[in-house]
Amino acid sequence: MITTKTPYRISFFGGGTDYPSYYSSHPGAVLATTIDKYCYINLRELPPFFEHKHRIVWSIVETVQSFDDITHPSVRACLKLMRSPQDCGLEIHHIGDLPARTGLGSSSSFTVGLLHALYKLQEEPVSKKMLADKAIYIEQQVLHENVGSQDQTIAAHGGFNLVRFGGGENTHLNITPVSIAPERLLALNARLMLFFTGLSRTASEIAGEQIENTHKNIEQLQAMYELVFKASYILSSNMDLDDFGRLLDSTWKLKRTLSKKISTDTVDGIYKTAISNGALGGKLLGAGGGGFILFYVPPEKQAQVKNALGLLHVPFSFENCGSQVV
């Protein structure tokens, strides 16, 4: 039995500039971190004693004879890419700490984790960069999902990173760990509050409109790109950490203009309530439409924000390991 543990991510700045439709002609960058909430993949060779050859357990249980019969798109694509149809049967179980389709990059964490398990099963060495590149290829080129290139990169590498994208087929222009003192990193973590809106959505559908609008949104995307470096400087300097929260407010206001599907009246109400009760800034995570929303809240205001929102609060800590075989 092989088990992989792949973290979910929180993207602070630059989301939207990591889509190929943008960074193929303009430099893109994101500031993001992985957190201690994970996607687990259990993988084993299935003994030949069953009527089915493969068993895949996720939201449903699939028992099939061939890879082509598999419903789960990422599982089907990963298995067809990594193994030949005449190979032995496989059993795959997925367990997630948090629900899917909620803005934390869960789909990409799943793909990265499954690829990692398959490499281990075949006893092939694989680097974090290889995992990210393969996952990007599967999601963008094989499945033709409307996804960017940050989720796979962050999930594979782990840690708090500034990732640059740009130039033709180069999805990894550069990945740089953020330079921040440990006590300052803890202080930032302590000021971030993650809430579940109770709404789930399919990111690819929402992102599709944003991608179509790329040529109309160049000015906003460039402004979002610049905020990545302003935020990174705040973290690495002695500036007031609260400025990071205020920048989150700026990037959310920009992000809302990229597509009408990114926010909703419900989300706008949640955001307004948090700000009026002491949050300095925040943003809906992922493509938009629902899922998790993040706020930067000074410690003395956190109880007030939590009570005012009445939403499920999910405490978290930053993590540094990325995808692991455990």
28 pLDDT exceeds 80?
yes
Using alpha carbons, select from 13, 33, 18, 16 the residue that is nearest to residue 228: 13
Closest CA to 27 of 143, 121, 149: 149
pLDDT of residue 207: 67
What's the pTM? 0.94
Pairing relationship of beta strands 54-57 and 90-96 according to DSSP bridges: parallel
d(CA 219, CA 153): 25
Amino acid type, 308? A
What per-residue confidence (pLDDT) applies to 171? 47
Predicted confidence at residue 88, as pLDDT, reads: 82
Closest to 56 (Cα-Cα) out of 29, 94, 8: 94
- Is the separation of the CB atoms in 301 and 277 below 8 Å? yes
Instruction: Give the residue among 213, 167, 151 at the shortest CA–CA distance from 7.
Output: 151
CB 81: neighbour CB atoms within 10 A? 14
Count CB atoms within 10 A of the CB of residue 247: 21
List 240's β-bridge partners, or say none: none
Q: Would the CA dihedral through 206, 136, 63, 6 be positive or negative? A: negative
pLDDT band at 197 (very low <50, low <70, confident <90, very high): very high
- Band of pLDDT at residue 201, cut at 50, 70 and 90: low
Least confident of 17-21, 165-169, 187-191: 165-169
Q: With 70 as the cut, is the pLDDT of residue 238 above it?
A: yes
Neighbours of 78 (CB within 10 A): 26
